Structure 1
Amino acid sequence: MVDFKQGNVMGSFIFLEIFTVVCLISIITTLFNKRILGMPQAIGVPIVSAVLVFILQWSATLLAGNQFININIHAIEEAVRKINFYDFLINGVICFILTASALKFKMADLRTYWKPIGILASLALLLCAFVFGGLLFGYQFITGHHVPLIVLLLLGSALGATDPIGIKGVLSSIKAPNHLMIKLEGESLFNDAMCIAVFMTILKVIQGGEFNLLHVAEHLAFEIIVAVIIGFAFGKMALYLLKGKNEMESLILTTAVLASGSYLVALYAHASAPIACVIGGLMVGDKWQEILAYKDVEEINHFWHTIEGVINSFLFTLIGLELFILDLNAHIIIGGIVAFVILHLARFLANYLAFAFFPSVRKNAYKGSLEILSWGGVRGGISLALILAVANVPQLKEYTNVLIGYTFIVVLLSGVVCGLGLPAVINAFYYSPNEPSEGFAGWYQRLMHKIMNRSDRLYVLNEDKFGNQTISLYEPTPEELEELPKFDDTKHETQATLNDPNRF
């Protein structure tokens, strides 16, 4: 607000200050990761940001009392605390990320793989949250740190969702079977609704509310149905406006309103905002090539690709900077590592249990599908945003440091271990002539072959004359297994083609 009495007609610069600093740090971390580390952006940038925080904190301690150079670490911490991570992501930019992904996600792929995507985004997520909470409660009990089970279930529900931003960052850097990429990205687009619904239900119980399974089911059904209606309406409206074939600025603004408008209306209607903008994006992405010129579609896609890149740089930098507000100690670090191991064990168990209820889907699976899908569950900003949002809830004050610390460590390790390790897991089932054979990477690859695929059966990816990906089966001899990265992959041509869109 302008204060004319004090002569301050300029207002506050806090937003511009934070924006400028985060932009600068994002540039540094992104360039360092791209030119030095070479990791996927979703993994490298948070790591570089976290290391930068450690360096700043160490430098502040080292220079304490210095007359010439002084780093006010407390001022930096206060600035980071002023950033509302939940509002920035959940009530802000996530709508643009989801819509950008939905515009490029083919409706035909969703029609083909809706069963496994639906199972992963609902039942498997729910089972994962409860298995994780139970196992982590056992660890806490054994180590003498008694965190209530209901609090750990809340943590499990926040960590249950795979992050669409992290998934896209990892998948864009590797060559994977199309059917697995579709399922991983599809799961990440749709599981936000279930994740947030379970999270808010458990939070209500913690705050003294009553748990009623029927009421929860009705509420979830209401959220999904209303969200689909809102998304459908905005999708139809956007397609109608796009038919006008206006100048490029109008076309881009139409897709921007599709993202923010559907999300905002769904929030006001107490519906699932993520599902609303995903449905709208899917509708437009499925039809816009019929009403727009190819050049226009490419320009709009380029715009959204750029927006995604900028938002991702901001988001991953902010994840690393959240280290400023953590009070890390040996208990939190060890517990966070254990929580990461338990989480991914819980995801493996939950996926196997969930698909056991659907044997018709499970029996049609390619070998290794569940292992790869379980390993590929990268966590990211959504989990951290949910936990940071409830940090000041009175009933959770005592456990705030545990919740935030565990979540931060799990998110970082998820990117490093699962994200960087995903190519090796895929190579254990799908032959790659370029898989590493020397050093740590080669040792790790051989370990994945032994642990993940004991039958030694490999699939081979290729393309038919129309450019469609095909999957063939190859069973190497013991001699060829000795030199697995070197064997001749042309021999697969004599094998029957296994590519089948109905297979999981």
Structure 2
Amino acid sequence: MSTQEIIAITIVLAALFAYINHRFIKWPPTIGIMAISLICSVLLVTLGNGKSLVSEKAVQLALSVDFQDVLMNFMLSFLLFAGAIHIDSAKLKKESVPVIVLATVGILISTFLVGGILWQILVWFSIPIPFIYCLIFGSLISPTDPIAVMGILKRSKIPESLELKIAGESLFNDGIAVVIFVSLVQIARSSSGTFHLADVGILFLEEAMGGLVFGAILGYIGYYALKSIDDYNVEVLITLAIVMGGYFIAGRLHVSGPLAMVVAGLITGNKSKRDGMSDITRDYLGKFWKMIDEILNAVLFLFIGLEMLIIKTNITVFLIGLICILVVLFSRWISVLIPIFLLRFKVKFEKNVVSILTWGGLRGGISVALALSLGPDMYRDQFVLITYIIVVFSILVQGLTIGALAKKLKY
């Protein structure tokens, strides 16, 4: 399937599903598009004979798109920048302590809890997967997806301070999780299966801290460029250059591109907007990045639904995936409860914060992409199916009920 054909079919399907959702279903766009895409995929798998033109084209589309490459190396940079550009950095700064702790300590707790419990479950099912690979799964499923989370939060009525905690954590924890994921994968690939704490620490500093510093440099280069002119066409183009050029360079420097995009987006959305742009430019820039965010979100969740067509299914692994829904929720609850317990004397938390942070910690495309990046020798097929089950539950069930939960808890 040619690139032109892939793009044309993708945009047409995304627009069609978005229209159906807006006209009839009226769910949040990301959830509605994914649900319709998933239903269509299930119908094609169960009812189609695989020889019809529709079935053939749908499978060709799913096979032609390298989801992991498209999301991690292209879409993620735009989506993170677009999400960060709309966050008030001054308000986020007030929530910086819980955000940082949840995005680091919380991820580590969840990684080891999920990995340990999954390893025991696999023993019960007589599936011999080494513990290190269970930890790898724990690292890829633990980060809350900023794309899914921020899309849902726009419609849920929760306090702004709590919304900032969830959004801030989700923006930063994916970069941290990727560092942990890469470290564990390197350990698994080593001949001895051992690792040195110093090596992991160096990798963390290079990836995470390097990404934060590089993002700040990008943001301030953009600020001075935007401040020196007053032409909204050129200024929008500069922000595109920050994202595309910056993410590419981050990869070559071996620093965290996702963290760099978050920091650059925060600087552009706050300092650059406040001190370096005219009112007309602010208006155009805001609308442009909102449009980019909506379009790419539609395409992303369309792809998540279409992945159903090509995922290898296994009844035993499917059952384990259903059990892992509870495992991930329990691990999320513990990974939220412990940091909040430790911080409760220094940070003021909203009532029922643990419940909202637990249920609002949605998993999304990043987890699927990391699972797909595993090699066949790393139990890729099993982990992809388990991940997919958890992500679908997270977005459809948790995403649709987080607003009702907030209402029940009297927010």
Corresponding residue for residue 315 of structure 2? 330
Please state if 1:131 is matched with 2:113.
Answer: yes
Q: CA deviation at 1:343?
A: 0.3
Give the alignment partner of residue 295 of structure 1, picking from 236, 257, 280. Answer: 280
- Larger Rg, first or second structure (1 or 2): 1
How far is 1:78 from its partner? 4.2
Quick one: which amino acid aligns to residue 400 of structure 1? R
Aligned 8 A contact 2:98 2:343 in 1: no
Correspondent of 1:159 among 137, 141, 154: 141
Distance 1:215 1:355, change over 3 A: farther
Name the residue aligned to 2:268: 284
**8 Å contact from structure 1 (residues 127, 354) kept in 2:** no
| Counterpart AA for 1:297 | R
Q: Would the aligned equivalents of 2:111 and 2:138 in 1 still touch at CA under 8 Å?
A: yes
Structure 1 CA distance, aligned partners of 2:289 and 2:354?
Answer: 31
Measured after TM superposition, the shift of residue 425 of structure 1 is 2.1
Indicate how the Cα distance of structure 1 residues 49 and 361 shifts in structure 2: closer, same or farther if over 3 A, else same. Answer: farther
CA positional deviation for 1:71: 3.8
| Distance in 2 separating the partners of 1:102 and 1:71 | 41
Report what 1:420 is aligned to.
Answer: 400
Q: 1:304-319 alignment to 2 at 5 Å? A: 304-319=289-304
C-alpha separation between the residues in 2 aligned to 1:27 and 1:400?
Answer: 32
Q: RCO (CA 8 Å, sep 6+): is it higher in 1 or 2?
A: 2
How many residues of Structure 1 are paired with residues of Structure 2 in the alignment?
408
> Could you tell me which amino acid in structure 2 is paired with residue 376 of structure 1?
G
Aligned sequence identity (%): 27
Q: Under a length normalisation based on structure 1, what TM-score does the superposition of the two structures give? A: 0.77
1:100 to 82, 93, 104: 82
- In the alignment, structure 1 residue 407 sits paired with structure 2 residue 391: no
CA distance in 2, matches of 1:430, 1:295: 40
Q: Deviations 1:207-230 (Å, cap 9, x if unpaired)?
A: 125411221112211223322222
Where does residue 445 of structure 1 map in the other structure? none
Determine whether 1:219 maps to 2:203: yes
Amino acid of the structure 2 residue aligned with 1:294: D
Structure 1 gap ranges (5+): 1-12, 65-69, 432-504
Q: Could you tell me how far 1:261 is from its partner in structure 2?
A: 2.2
Whichever residue aligns with residue 105 of structure 1, its letter is I
| Residue correspondence of structure 1 range 20-169 to structure 2 within 5 A | 20-61=8-49, 70-71=52-53, 73=55, 76-169=58-151
Distance 1:232 1:169 in 2: 25
For residue 290 of structure 1, report the CA deviation from its aligned partner.
2.3
What is the DSSP-based 3-state SS (H/G/I as helix, E as strand, rest coil) of the residue aligned with 2:362?
A: coil
- Residue identity in the other structure for 1:378: L
Equivalences for residues 361-400 of structure 1 within 5 A: 361=346, 364-390=348-374, 393-396=375-378, 399-400=379-380
Aligned Cα RMSD in Å?
1.9
Q: 1:250 to 1:347 in 2, by over 3 A?
A: same
Taking the aligned partners of 1:339 and 1:256, their CA distance within structure 2 comes to 39
Q: Deviation per CA, 1:185-243: give whole Å up to 9, x if none.
A: 10111112211011111111221254112211122112233222221221111111111
Take 1:180 and 1:250, find their aligned partners in 2: how far apart are those partners?
A: 36
1:217 and 1:356 mapped to 2: Cα distance?
Answer: 26
Q: Which letter maps to 1:335?
A: I
List per-residue Cα deviations over 1:403-459 (Å, max 9, x = no partner). Answer: 11111111110012211121222123325xxxxxxxxxxxxxxxxxxxxxxxxxxxx
TM-score (norm 2): 0.94
Shift of 1:246: 3.1
The alpha carbon displacement at 1:40 in A equals 1.3
**In the superposition, relative to structure 1, how do residues 71 and 331 fare at CA in structure 2: closer, same or farther (>3 Å)?**
farther
